[in-house]
Amino acid sequence: MTYQLPPLRFAYHDLEPHFPAELIRRHVEIHHQGYTDGINAILRAHPELDGNSIEDLMRVVLPGLPEPLRAQVAHIGGGHADHQFFWKIIGPSGNGAPKGDLAVALEQTFGSFQKFRDRFIEAALAHQGAGWAFLSMDRIGDGHLEILTLPNNGSVLPIGKPGIVICDLWEHAYESRYGDSRADYLEAFFRVIDWDVCDARIVGIREGRKQM
């Protein structure tokens, strides 16, 4: 199996003015493509790992790998998996707030959507260095919502905490557009989250469906 860049649900310019077209192009064609090429190179060197979806590689195979291969797959495979997830939950139909099951869950857990938003941004700003911020369930099925950040290319797949929202905290996600201001980037990010997709994700998690 050769991993590929997933087709985007939007054109590069569709997220403007929040995410400039050139920023998205470089993010996809340089950074995500680099991780995709990297994990394919690992598979060529270790054909025994071939034949797994990226989800199964990270969720099932990764924990049993010996070091240093496990660290390599975690970082390179995590970069591919996290970016693939990221492109799924943003889009030009973003902004606003969730309205379905996710809206109810956010209110039950955090008190309101605004309080969740504030806490998510607070956690993302507090994270030191590169990484990813997530809204996840603590388990598949009838789990509870939690906000967590993971360093570098940490993924929720190997820790069994299915993701609903993901935000790239690496500088390449925002440096040229926001003057290295993560705070401004996070404000823009909340304007491009496709909450319909995120709501469908929480429904799928509660039904026991495994998904990126």
Report yes or no on 6 lying in a domain.
no
24/80 same-domain check: yes
Q: How many domains does the chain have?
A: 2
Report yes or no on 180 lying in a domain.
yes
Distances in Å between the Cα of 183 and the Cα atoms of 59, 121, 173 are 31, 8, 12
Q: Above 90 in pLDDT, residue 172?
A: no
E strands present in 9-160: 131-137, 145-151
CB atoms near residue 63 (< 10 Å): 11
| pLDDT confidence bin for 179, thresholds 50/70/90 | low
The Cα–Cα gap between 106 and 84 comes to 24
Mean pLDDT, to the nearest integer, of 58-71? 96
Query: What CATH number is associated with residue 28?
Result: 1.10.287.990
81/110 same-domain check: no
Query: What CATH number is associated with residue 198?
Result: 3.55.40.20
122/190 same-domain check: yes
107/198 same-domain check: yes
pLDDT in tens, 34-45: 999 999 999 999
78/110 same-domain check: no
65/125 same-domain check: no
Q: Above 60 in pLDDT, residue 115?
A: yes
Mean pLDDT, to the nearest integer, of 127-143? 91
Domain end marker among 89, 111, 136: 89
165/116 same-domain check: yes
Domain end marker among 54, 89, 124: 89
pLDDT of residue 65: 97
User: By residue range, what is the domain housing residue 117?
Assistant: 101-206
26/46 same-domain check: yes
List the 163-168 sheet strands across, edge first.
Answer: 145-151, 131-137, 163-168
DSSP 12: G
